[in-house]
Amino acid sequence: MANKGETLLEVKGLKTYFHTQEGVVKAVDGVSFSIARGEALAVVGESGCGKTVTALSVMNLIPDPPGRIEEGEIIFEGRNLLEMNDREIRQVRGNHIGMIFQDPMTSLNPVFTIGSQISEAVRVHLGLSRGDARQRAIELLRMVEIPQAERRYKMYPHEFSGGMRQRAMIAMALSCEPKLLIADEPSTALDVTIQAQIMELIGRLREEIGLAVMLITHDLGVVAGVAETVLVMYAGKVVEYADIDRVYYNSRHPYAWSLMRSVPRLDEKKDRLLTIGGSPPSLINLPPGCSFSPRCPFAEEVCRREEPPLREAEPGHLSACHFAADFEQHGQGVKA
Amino acid sequence: MAALVEVRGIVKHFPVGKGIILSRLGGTVKAVDGVSLDVEEGKTLGLVGESGCGKSTLARLMLRLIRADRGEVIFEGRDILKLKRQEMQSVRRSMQIIFQDPYASLNPRMSVGSIIMEPMAIHNEGSKQERRRRAVELLTLVGLQPEHFTRYPHEFSGGQRQRIGVARALALNPRLIICDEPVSALDVSIQAQVLNLLKELQERFSLTYIFIAHDLSVVRYISDEVAVMYLGKIVERATHDDLYGNPRHPYTVALMSAVPLPDPVKERERKRIILEGDVPSPIDPPSGCRFHTRCWKRQEICTVEEPPLEERAPGHRVACHFPENTP
């Protein structure tokens, strides 16, 4: 996290709660991070950890009610998005920040052609004429490597395969040359060979147009190939935040540490996988102290009593664990 | 060791309708198109492939949940496809399945206890008390609590539901369990729990598994042997070490190359083989070798002649004219 370039997006103390009949769901509870120009940040965590809600908050797309951004600042290129009115925010969304989702089929309108959906975006945001918008849309389809772009322009979403739909979504998200692309599980619904194509494409676009990427995923493998920085979330909070090599090789939080060891790997033969007991807690009724303590193999009494703050375990490496500073020794001691 | 199950030349084509009315035939989906394989008792065969390759159809054919067009499934020495209904019923207790989606595969109106006791009731196993005792025993075996007996599926998390599915599959002491993507709907931290459970149960009861998955890393962890499917055919079949150490079919090579590793340094150095395009439609599969449209090694012959699944090294079968890693 040292030597970061100029900051593009900064999120400070974001709290997004959902007010439901069962109680207040603290989906995102005090999350802070920043993305520099051209940087790729991965937000990693299991379902329900708040990673998608974080992304939707940045885009100001939280359904209200029941959701509400209670606190925090989202500063994009020096301006707080949370203080903007609807018109201003629409300018940012689409023009400066593009977003793609896990399931491209639900994000595309089935009754309009792919081409008309992309050209609509460029006409609205860039004010191009019909003809120019069409040209631009075809160019975009070429950029995301859709073969026979002119012919595909006239086709409907159902005539596209899953991988092609995701490419079309990327084309649409990039239509106004945004500086930041938020990708929410962009390859999860796709087969591995197609996933590799899409991740390769995102990597290439980063190099070519200097795009910053916020990649949201549960797949530790996908992250490894793309991200420079990793933000690990658990139960609505950031538990670890550092550059990728630190998180992967020198994790200072037992959640990330155990998660790395619990995934089967293609390049290793293992007899037993490490397991994390239990399941993620309910966000309405969090355990006292550290939310991970009931599942933590190294937890001690203090963990069940006091919530550990997110602080530097070493320069540029944030961790929310009472034993972050001497995590390795602590872990070794308990394991033995 | 003898094979517990053997499949010989099994074929399943599904007719697809054209237009609104199904009766106008528009062709057939060649879901499984001549597959032969065998699994030894007590071992795990991993069946890998992308969506639409026919792996789930193959599983259902082996359990006779759907009727095969042609071929044989030899289980415990008998071709089960030829058995009468009643004979089949008695074979079914030895073959069970665990499904992918633990939300869809448990009846929400039944308590966990009755879900687990249902197979025993169907097969008239034991008295009610005995079934109840067995169900409680199974709950503990899969890592749940006896008091979960009276609860309902919605009260459980995904991982716990999958455990209930495992308990149900074990209820009749089967010899073969087909696991159809049993962990792909689960969170990362829960996957390991279920995978370890399946391994422990296998060791304890010398179960035979056919483990279907699209995730090569998961298959590597659980399998003794692996078969790779592409468009209704097996393209490679080898032991676990041979397949992962020495993949020979270009499709297997590409598939492995596409799997991301949770290792940033390795990922940065890695040269990926990126396959072009999508999997072709199984309604009209390519001529010759079905993989030739995406293969980087294709030659003239690949487009006209289908390569047979041949043994290129001891225990290592490949269907390719120009296999990799082969002298």
The string of pLDDT tens digits covering residues A125-150 is 888 899 999 999 999 998 888 888 89
Contacts 24+ apart (CB under 8 A), A276-279: A276/B189, A276/B192, A276/B193, A277/B193, A279/B157, A279/B158, A279/B159, A279/B160, A279/B187, A279/B189, A279/B190
Task: Kindly state the tokens that stand for B143.
Answer: 């890592």
Is B258 close to A195, i.e. CB distance below 8 A? yes
3-class secondary structure, B287: coil
The Cα–Cα gap between A283 and A236 comes to 8
User: How much is the ipTM here?
Assistant: 0.82
Nearest CA in chain B to A273: B192
Is A192 close to B214, i.e. CB distance below 8 A? yes
Is B257 close to A196, i.e. CB distance below 8 A? yes
Is A194 close to B278, i.e. CB distance below 8 A? yes
Given A248, A269, A279, which is nearest B190 (Cβ)? Answer: A279
Task: Kindly state the tokens that stand for B319.
Answer: 């269907």
**Residue A207 to chain B, least CA–CA distance (Å):** 15
Mean of the pLDDT values across residues B268-290? 87
At B20, give phi and psi (nearest 5°): -75, -35
pLDDT band for B21, please (50, 70, 90 cuts): low
Nearest CA in chain B to A259: B189
Rounding to the nearest 10 degrees, give the CA dihedral for residues A64, A69, A70, A73: -150
Give the number of A-B residue pairs with CB atoms closer than 8 Å: 140
CB atoms within 10 A of CB B209: 24
Mean of the pLDDT values across residues B136-162? 91
Nearest CA in chain A to B262: A221
Is B259 close to A263, i.e. CB distance below 8 A? no
Given A222, A277, A280, which is nearest B260 (Cβ)? Answer: A222
Digit-coded pLDDT (tens) for B280-324: 888 888 999 999 999 999 999 999 999 999 999 999 999 999 998
3-class secondary structure, A39: coil
Topology of domain A1-96+178-336, per CATH? Answer: Rossmann fold (3.40.50)
The Cα–Cα gap between A29 and A237 comes to 6
Q: Which residues partner with B135 through β-bridges?
A: none
Q: State residue B61's pLDDT score.
A: 94
Is A264 close to B218, i.e. CB distance below 8 A? yes
| The pairing of beta strand B233-239 with beta strand B78-79 | unpaired
Q: State residue B8's pLDDT score.
A: 95
The tokens 């995730």 sit on which residue? B215
Partners of residue B280 in chain A, C-beta under 8 Å = none
**Residue A277 to chain B, least CA–CA distance (Å):** 8
Q: State residue A336's pLDDT score.
A: 34
**Residue A98 to chain B, least CA–CA distance (Å):** 25
- Cβ atoms of A239 and A255 closer than 8 Å: yes
Partners of residue A270 in chain B, C-beta under 8 Å = 221
Partners of residue B267 in chain A, C-beta under 8 Å = 221, 224-225
Please give the sequence-ordered ranges of beta strands (E in DSSP) within B190-309, or none if there are none: 208-213, 225-230, 233-239
Q: A interface mutation test: which of B278, B283, B294 has the most A CBs within 10 A?
A: B278
Q: State residue A1's pLDDT score.
A: 47
**Residue A266 to chain B, least CA–CA distance (Å):** 4
Sheet with B95-98, strands from edge to edge, namely B95-98, B176-180, B208-213, B44-48, B225-230, B233-239, B316-318, B310-313
Q: State residue B52's pLDDT score.
A: 84
Give burial (CB, 10 Å; 0-12/13-18/19+) of B40: middle
Is B50 close to A193, i.e. CB distance below 8 A? yes
Is B260 close to A196, i.e. CB distance below 8 A? yes
Domain extents in chain A: 1-96+178-336, 106-177
Given A259, A266, A269, which is nearest B188 (Cβ)? Answer: A259
pLDDT under 50: residue ranges of chain A = 1-2, 335-336
**Residue B263 to chain A, least CA–CA distance (Å):** 6
Q: State residue A126's pLDDT score.
A: 83
- Cβ atoms of B212 and B55 closer than 8 Å: yes
Q: State residue A53's pLDDT score.
A: 93
Q: A interface mutation test: which of B221, B276, B281, B295 has the most A CBs within 10 A?
A: B221
- Cβ atoms of B162 and B186 closer than 8 Å: yes
- Cβ atoms of A138 and A90 closer than 8 Å: no
> What residues contact residue B205 under an 8 Å CB cut-off, 6+ apart?
B170, B173
B17, containing H or E segment:
strand B3-17
What is the 8-class DSSP label of residue B306?
P
Q: State residue B206's pLDDT score.
A: 93
Is A280 close to B263, i.e. CB distance below 8 A? no
**Residue B268 to chain A, least CA–CA distance (Å):** 6
B9, containing H or E segment:
strand B3-17
Q: Which residues partner with B35 through β-bridges?
A: B10
Q: What is chain B's mean pLDDT, rounded?
A: 91
Q: At what angle do helices A254-262 and B188-205 cross, to 10 degrees?
A: 50
pTM value is 0.87
Is B191 close to A262, i.e. CB distance below 8 A? yes
3-class secondary structure, A21: coil
**Residue B184 to chain A, least CA–CA distance (Å):** 11
Question: Which of A242, A222, A251 lies closest to A317 in space, CA to CA?
Answer: A242
Interface of B with A in 228-267 (CB under 8 A): 240-241, 244, 254-267
The Cα–Cα gap between B318 and B308 comes to 8
- Cβ atoms of A169 and A161 closer than 8 Å: no
Please give the sequence-ordered ranges of beta strands (E in DSSP) within B264-315, or none if there are none: 310-313
Partners of residue A263 in chain B, C-beta under 8 Å = 188, 191-192, 217, 262
Question: Which of A266, A273, A236 lies closest to A30 in space, CA to CA?
Answer: A236
> What residues contact residue A90 under an 8 Å CB cut-off, 6+ apart?
none
- Cβ atoms of B75 and B91 closer than 8 Å: yes
Digit-coded pLDDT (tens) for B92-147: 999 999 998 888 899 999 999 999 999 999 999 889 999 999 999 999 999 999 99
Partners of residue A105 in chain B, C-beta under 8 Å = none
Q: Which residues partner with A29 through β-bridges?
A: A15
**Residue A200 to chain B, least CA–CA distance (Å):** 8
